[in-house]
Amino acid sequence: MRFVFKPLLIIFLTVLISCQNEVVEKSVTSPNSELIVEFNINESGQPQYTVSFNGKIVVKPSLLGFDVKYQKALDKDFTIVKTSTRSFNETWQMPWGEQLNVENYYNELKVELEESSELKRKLNIVFRVYDDGIGFRYEFPEQDNLKDIYITEEHTNFNLTEDYKTFWIPGDWDIYEHLYSTTKLSEIDTENYKVNSALAQTSIPNKAVNTPVTMVGSDGTHLSFHEAGLLNYSGMTLGVDANELSLKSILVGSDNRDYKVKQTVPFNTPWRTIQITKSGPELIESNLIVNLNEPNKIGDVSWFTPMKYTGVWWEMHLGKSSWDYGMEKVNGKWTDTGKAHGKHGATTENVKRFIDFSSKNNIKGVLVEGWNTGWEEWIGFEDREGVFDFVTPYPDYDLDEVTKYAKEKGVEIIMHHETSAATQTYEKQQDTAYALMKKYGMHAVKSGYVGKIIPKGEYHHGQYMVNQYNEAAIKAANYQVAVNAHEPIKATGLRRTYPNIISREGLRGQEFNAWSPDGGNPPEHLPIVAFTRMLAGPIDFTPGIFNIKFDEYRKTNQVNTTLAQQLALYVVIYSPMQMAADLVEHYEANPEPLQFIKDVGVDWEKTTVLNGEVGDFVTIARKERNTENWFVGSITDENSREITVDFKFLDEGATYNAVIYKDGNDAHWNDNPTAIDIEKQTITKDSKLTIKLAEGGGFAISLLKQ
Ligand code: NOJ
Ligand code: CA
């Protein structure tokens, strides 16, 4: 009997094994098993995915696909040809950053799809699942029936399961410089969004938000939606469906074309990302966005050193001086016709004052805006092509003398290229402009893209401009130039691949406090920014305003934080270029708080986020690279609160000389913003400190190891 059954058993086992071989792997789990992504094809052959976090579904089955020009949509009739999974784990080093070592640990699922209909087009979808979130992208492999592709819309859906508390800015195609709103997901109403930015250029074409958009759930789950590796593609906004509680990609378009992205197959889209954590602090610590980018492609960037900088900048925003000199265009040439108004800020003499001050105060850089001809016609003019040239200084600015003087004092001049969004002029002159910088030993440029994009019909966040920003940075690297763009495209972690992309604006910066008719940035602004915009990458916010009310310049404007909070921002808001933005005379009048700016690091070995709630408060500790010093910063919104710092992150057995810069007893962002108490004490790993933050306040601590 037993012999009769043996062959049957073998056949049975063989069938079982071959079935197992064909089992199509359609799910992938994070290394810690908390996150699961499942992929599927529905009855119509439409690709869809689901995400669950700790046993709870956070993204319900959500469709994926594209509308394209000249061909039928790429969104159904698919069959799965093959799936594969792999695990990846590496530790890479940031040349500069919030931390030195970054763990990049994920599990990947790759799904290869093919249409069953006659075109048989191929589309791969790759999911990477990390402990701190997921990323997925579309990969278009080489194939016969798809060569050039004209994407009219991408249909990436995120069907959510809760009416989250959401922190959002509208999906403006030109600027990110809006105040954040906090509403339920279902109450996002961008159509009625009051455009209160003096720089707003675009209506918001759809009921959409820009990313990162961050959400907090009733059980404390935190989600932030964004993208990584935005190269040769359009920026993605997210359309909101209030009834369905869902988000859907809406790519930024152009008035000049009836498609949004043109690409040549093979290519990959940017990663669509969701950071998913149990708390706000973990969102800030997440490295998902940089990890999803390719490793460094430009090699050594040690010619750029992270730095604090001062500059001829705030004085223009206050109206103390001007960018322009008062020239006129005669026969197409900027000419000094004797109409100089005497208010020009970037004079040799004034810049030397900043150089002297910086060199005395451990500040390495000096930014000079308004040094080159063209500022008479930079804003409000329709035709801005050919106005700026990036090499010709105004008559009262001696570039040779200034750079020589700076060098003697151990200071580096930071170049400024305001393109006024005249892209052709800038593109043509980049080589000359960067070569000039190289000649003078300047390694960082702040660029600006104020105004409507020329050519007309293009938008700051569309494919045309994405390529302008990225190509400028890639070209700059050839001249050992690092770029800090204002009015930029959003940060998507490209600093990993091109580490000369150092910082950018892309939010309502400090400048709004100087002149915005709506009263500037409210105290809750930065406690929201830390959990939204900052997840994308470094921010050139330009902190450090000591003269909070500046009544002598603008009676109706002020900074809406305390002085102690301005110090805290050097730690809380990350950038490898950190400005000490106030006027020299305001710092000289306040040597005690200035000591913190002198001491604080700007390049970090480690970062730990000690506590925080989105929109309310946040406390961050960072350890400086190449020293043993730590710095702590904490900021709050319009509410006063007590924060306890547990110093257990410090080295075992070490003692630190701490200086604590905190709000005075009766400090308040509006009533008494400059009241500050500065205390010294020694701190060890076992210490704990409870500190009161005023309304709109904060504290900063320097911990210098003995
Ligand atoms: C806007 C930038 O954000 C600001 O910092 C700069 O001063 C002006 N443009 C002029 O370029
Ligand atoms: Ca700006």
Which segments of 278-411 are extended strands (E)?
A: 307-312, 328-330, 333-335, 365-368
The two beta strands, 412-418 and 444-448, are parallel
CB atoms within 10 A of CB 409: 15
Q: What is the CA radius of gyration of the chain?
A: 27
Q: Which ligand neighbours the alpha carbon of 178 most closely?
A: 2
Residue ranges with CB less than 5 Å from ion ligand 2:
486
Please, which residues have CB within 8 angstroms of residue 272's CB and are 6 or more apart in sequence? 135, 136, 137, 156, 225, 227, 236, 249
Give the ligand 1 atom nearest the CA of 486. Answer: 3
Whether ligand 1 lies within 6 angstroms of the CB of 153 is answered as no
Give the angle subtended at the CA of 20 by the CAs of 16 and 24, to the nearest 5°.
145
What is the pLDDT at residue 191? 73
For the chain, how many residues are written?
A: 706
d(CA 4, CA 442): 86
Please give the distance of CA 108 from its chain centroid, rounded to a whole number.
26
Of 450, 510, 515, the residue with max ligand 1 atoms within 8 A of its CB, to mutate for a pocket test, comes to: 450
Q: What is the pTM of this model?
A: 0.96
Whether ligand 1 lies within 6 angstroms of the CB of 417 is answered as no
Q: Concatenate the DSSP letters of all residues of 392-411 into one string.
A: -B-TT--HHHHHHHHHHTT-
What is the pLDDT at residue 380? 86
Q: Concatenate the DSSP letters of all residues of 640-698 into one string.
A: -EEEEEEGGGSPTT--EEEEEEEE-TT-BTTTBTT-EEEEEEEE-TT-EEEEEEPTT-E
Ligand 2 centroid–CA 348 distance in Å is 25
Give the ligand 1 atom nearest the CA of 448. Answer: 11
Residue type, 466: V
Whether ligand 1 lies within 6 angstroms of the CB of 505 is answered as yes
Q: Which ligand neighbours the alpha carbon of 418 most closely?
A: 1
Whether ligand 1 lies within 6 angstroms of the CB of 448 is answered as yes
Partners of 484 in beta bridges: 446, 503
Give the ligand 1 atom nearest the CA of 487. Answer: 3
Whether ligand 1 lies within 6 angstroms of the CB of 369 is answered as yes
Q: Could you say which residues of the chain have pLDDT below 70?
A: 1-24, 192-203, 205
d(CA 213, CA 467): 24
Set out the domains of the chain in order of their start, with CATH numbers: 25-291 (2.70.98.10), 511-572+593-706 (3.20.20.70)
Ligand 1 centroid–CA 200 distance in Å is 14
Residue nearest to atom 3 of ligand 1 (CA): 486
Please, which residues have CB within 8 angstroms of residue 6's CB and are 6 or more apart in sequence? none
d(CA 238, CA 171): 7
Give the ligand 1 atom nearest the CA of 313. Answer: 7
Residue nearest to atom 6 of ligand 1 (CA): 448
Cα distances (angstroms) measured from residue 692 to each of 526, 561, 596, 641:
18, 15, 19, 6
d(CA 509, CA 40): 43
d(CA 416, CA 368): 6
Catalytic center residues: 511
Whether ligand 1 lies within 6 angstroms of the CB of 199 is answered as no
Which segments of 426-486 are extended strands (E)?
A: 444-448, 482-485
Helices (H) and strands (E) in the chain, counts: 13, 38
What is the pLDDT at residue 190? 83
Secondary structure of residue 324 in the 3-state scheme? coil
Q: Which ligand neighbours the alpha carbon of 317 most closely?
A: 1
